[in-house]
Amino acid sequence: MTNTASRVEQAVRAALATVRPDAVDIAGSTDLARELGLDSVQVMDMVMEIEDRLDVSVPVETLADARTLDQLCAGVAKLLAKTN
């Protein structure tokens, strides 16, 4: 795992923990909405946390394309690569 990917995963997992403290140590393949039951408010709170932690703006398209934790991390990492 690259440094950026590791940093993104840590930030995403920390952001998830702020909205769902009971969701620690979940698998990357976990479906955020179906398996964790995140509602739209929780998703937006998590996205704001990710944006603050990584100083990046996460567009709606990135969220729409990401159903799992791994997909969200990949989408955010791709955004960071474009800005650096």
Q: What is the pLDDT of residues 3-43, one digit of tens each?
A: 989 999 999 999 999 999 998 889 999 998 899 998 889 98
What's the rounded mean pLDDT across residues 37-62?
A: 93
Q: Does 84 or 15 have the greater pLDDT score?
A: 15
DSSP codes joined into one string, 9-35: HHHHHHHHHHH-TT-TT--TT-BTTTT
For residue 22, what are its two tokens? 């009971």
pLDDT-derived band of residue 70, with 50, 70 and 90 as boundaries?
very high
Q: Which two tokens stand for residue 72?
A: 């969200």
pTM of the entire structure? 0.90
Q: What is the pLDDT of residues 59-69, one digit of tens each?
A: 989 988 999 99
Q: Output the pLDDT for position 1.
A: 65
